[in-house]
Amino acid sequence: MATLASFSSRLGAVVRELASKKGPGGWCGRHMAAAERAILDRIPLVDLVVEVRDARIPSTSAFKCLRKACCSHKQVIVLNKVDLADNFLTERWLKHFKNQNYITYGLNAHNKDSIKELLRILRARVKELKVGESNYTATILLTGIPNVGKSAIANSMHQIGRIGAAEKGKLKHAVVNPHPGETKDISSYKIASHPNLYVLDSPGILRLKIAHNDMGAKLALTGAMEDFLIGEYDLARYFLAILNLSEEYKRWEKLKDTLDDTLSSVSLEKHVVGRETVQRKPRQYPSDHTQDFIVKDVRQTLFKTISSFEGHLEEENNMEKIIESQFIALQEALKVSSESSEDRYKAVAVKLLNLYRTGRLGRYTLDLVSTEV
């Protein structure tokens, strides 16, 4: 789509410029280069390498240097954040990787059953690689670009693995943060006993060279780099362009009737008044944009702006017009009130990006299935 390509090209150009910067103002420094060398040095020493990718961008989020450093029989590709991606396209991507002879699995790092299945897959694969050995210790290295959920996976496997093995001792925690680049060193966590399995959580690595603008825009939108480096307003505009050209908003056409009924009948809090227990609706906090009633208003606002627009959104001028109208309308839906228009637009952008990245505004896969690994 020419309109979307125009938005991604402009945003991607900013990302590529940042990628070329050294020192302050860029995201790649000596620490990332050193971390990459440490990871590559560790690969020959571990039994299995798990490459964690973002299910919304299965190709764009590839850790490129693994292609030469690791054989496919020793590598597992995990697509994390499947709860934020399109189900149909996720299945197509999983099939694509399996056809490339990779063991692959779609995962939600915060779902216990999903983590248990991943543990089962990893233990089975290690057992195959250690055929003939009965009492062994194996290490599994988690790798990937920033903010794909490596530390969340390490924490979940460590916690579930210890419970399953009835291990005692202090539970370790990898640092999990929505901001990219929080993991600085390679850390070890025990995830199974008899045989002993350890997972190594590693820093996220984003190479200096970004192949093309579209790739840079997708990385920025999904949170692989700090928003302030790119600009929250431009990122939110890119997301709105994606939403406006998708079919996702049509799901919200009958939202008013269904959500009003739902919100009036659930989440009632119990309060004791005298000797009686009464039910009341939970308090609503307009400053919290993640509450259901605000998310409902945001969805309704977006549906109305898209469905009532008469121009062709494939034309860039029309896309610019509708996005401008959406930023204005969303100020009320998101309860934004600041003095300057610049502050209001940034506040809308920050909240909108959060709702997108937490799946409250639909599920999107930005990479179409390709021939690339």
Split the chain (373 residues) into runs of 10 and give each run's mean pLDDT: 85 83 58 82 92 97 81 89 97 95 95 95 92 85 93 90 55 51 71 87 79 86 92 97 96 67 46 55 69 95 96 94 97 85 91 97 93 59
Structure tokens at 109: 């790092």
Residue 134 half-sphere exposure, CB side, CA atoms within 13 Å? 0
- Predicted local distance difference test score (pLDDT) of residue 105: 97
Structure tokens at 340: 């300057």
- Predicted local distance difference test score (pLDDT) of residue 15: 86
CATH 3.40.50.300 describes domain 29-201 = yes
Buried b (16+ CB within 10 A) or exposed e, 214-224: bbbbbbbbbbb
For helices 255-265 and 292-307, the axis angle rounded to 10 degrees is 170
Residue pointed to by tokens 């055929």: 131
Burial class of residue 255, CB neighbours in 10 A (0-12, 13-18, 19+)? middle
Structure tokens at 2: 């020419």
Domain parsing of the chain, residue ranges: 1-22+212-256+290-372, 29-201
Q: What is the pTM of this model?
A: 0.85
**Residue 106, SS3 per DSSP:** strand
Q: Using CA atoms, how far apart are residues 266 and 281, in angstroms rounded to an integer? A: 8
